[in-house]
Structure 1
Amino acid sequence: MTLLDRVGTAPTVRRGLAMVKLANGQWRVTRATGEVLGYIEAVVEGRELKFSSRRLIPNQRGSLPLGDFWRMDDAIDCFRL
């Protein structure tokens, strides 16, 4: 399990998950305990903005794509499972 201290920007809490903005268009998704679940990245596709979610694989250095979403709320919801 990856735990990170919340240093810098205060996290945004949505639907029981905290998101810390890392860079322009990138967020780290964590539980309230600080456990890192994965990342969301905003991607421009044509004239539309979509949100790509990736979940960290526990005890490994990789991640799995969860999907691309047109709404940030949908990209966040996939981490609640």
Structure 2
Amino acid sequence: MRLVAAAPSLWRVLEPGGRVIGHLQEVAQAGGIRFRARRYNPTAHAFRDLGDFWSADDAVECLVFAR
């Protein structure tokens, strides 16, 4: 997987072939920085949050396994 900056605190998560599988968003919380896994839902024309994680690796893993 590869991360490509999309905006401040936001990255696109790409498969090795270049297909976007979701987004990783950095979210500041009282306990520190969390990483939100997000996937676009074309039917709803909106992003769906899959969860918040303490590590970017865990958030990316969530996107990989939620395909």
* Same fold by TM-score greater than 0.5: yes
Aligned to 1:14: none
RMSD over aligned Cα, in angstroms? 1.3
Residue type matched to 1:77 in 2? E
Number of aligned residue pairs: give it.
Answer: 63
Aligned to 1:49: 33
- CA displacement at 1:24 relative to structure 2: 2.1
Matching of residue 31 in structure 1 with residue 15 in structure 2 = yes
- CA displacement at 1:21 relative to structure 2: 1.2
Aligned-partner Cα distance in 1 for 2:32–2:38: 20
Identity %: 33
In structure 2, the residue corresponding to 1:79 is in which secondary structure?
A: helix
In structure 1, the residue corresponding to 2:59 is in which secondary structure?
A: helix
Aligned-partner Cα distance in 2 for 1:21–1:75: 15
- CA displacement at 1:33 relative to structure 2: 1.4
Stretches of structure 1 that go unaligned for 5 or more consecutive residues are 1-16
- CA displacement at 1:47 relative to structure 2: 4.6
Which of the pair is proportionally richer in helix? 2
Normalising by structure 1, we get a TM-score of 0.68
Aligned to 1:79: 63
**Residue 29 of structure 1 contacts residue 36 of structure 1 at CA under 8 Å; is this kept in 2?**
yes
